[in-house]
Chain A
Amino acid sequence: DAKTTQPPSMDCAEGRAANLPCNHSTISGNEYVYWYRQIHSQGPQYIIHGLKNNETNEMASLIITEDRKSSTLILPHATLRDTAVYYCIVRGLDQTGANNLFFGTGTRLTVIP
């Protein structure tokens, strides 16, 4: 699985959009971009994923560049409960899902009142 690079921390004002970048310059054609977040002492929460096209769900939007070497997770109206560590990972399809997930250090997003 390709490795990712994320800024270690970001702040965002409550109610504003939070834009979290991720670089994955070595991504291969069949690898998806996944975003999870983790609040301290809890399990990672799935947010969104995509392959080529931009994606949107009830939690967030995912913008993937045309060359797929980077992406941005957008939380349109950040709330205090969005304070968490956000992880960007890339992985390909596999039969069993039996591999380690390299979450790295992620981006610690702090939403400020």
Chain B
Amino acid sequence: SQTIHQWPATLVQPVGSPLSLECTVEGTSNPNLYWYRQAAGRGLQLLFYSVGIGQISSEVPQNLSASRPQDRQFILSSKKLLLSDSGFYLCAWRRGAGNTIYFGEGSWLTVV
């Protein structure tokens, strides 16, 4: 069966510090991978998606970047965090030909 794992689960970082959230998927190959940010009661905002190694599409201009160094690894990064980067970040995957999206456990980021 397929599993998705992201870490860390919670993170408190000072303004201006770097960020790295990691996500891995097991049990499948060549998945589509996604990073979302969830705002309370407002749904999931897509930040980045990737259909293959090294292929990253950004949906929203922002202080964040994403990379896919391996087929089943997706990383969300920032060189200098802003207070407004605080939030709940979700990694997700789906099969290329399928439509169901599966989510990781989520990462709470607090920038102080």
The number of chain B residues touching the other chain, given as a range, is 20 to 34
Stretch from A59-67, A70-78, A91-99 at the B interface: A91-99
Stretch from B13-21, B45-53, B70-78 at the A interface: B45-53
Asked if B61 CB lies within 8 Å of chain A CBs, one says no
Asked if B44 CB lies within 8 Å of chain A CBs, one says yes
Q: A44-B90, A96-B32 are in contact. Are A101 and B101 (CB under 8 A)?
A: yes
Asked if A113 CB lies within 8 Å of chain B CBs, one says no
CA distance A93 to B88 in the complex (A): 26
Q: A41-B106, A43-B106, A99-B46 are in contact. Are A105 and B41 (CB under 8 A)?
A: yes
Contact across chains for B41 and A97 when beta carbons are under 8 A apart: no
Number of chain A residues close to chain B: CB under 8 A: 23
Q: Which of B45, B92, B100, B108 contacts A49 (CB 8 A)?
A: B100
Contact across chains for A42 and B106 when beta carbons are under 8 A apart: yes
Contact across chains for B102 and A98 when beta carbons are under 8 A apart: no
Give me the interface of B with A, judged by CB distance under 8 Å: 6, 32, 34, 36, 38, 41, 43-46, 49, 51, 57, 59, 88, 90, 92, 94, 99-106, 108
28 contacts between A and B (CB under 8 A): A36-B103, A41-B108, A42-B105, A42-B106, A43-B6, A43-B90, A43-B106, A44-B90, A46-B102, A49-B100, A96-B49, A96-B51, A97-B32, A97-B34, A97-B49, A97-B94, A97-B99, A97-B101, A98-B34, A98-B49, A98-B59, A100-B43, A100-B59, A101-B43, A101-B44, A101-B46, A103-B44, A105-B41
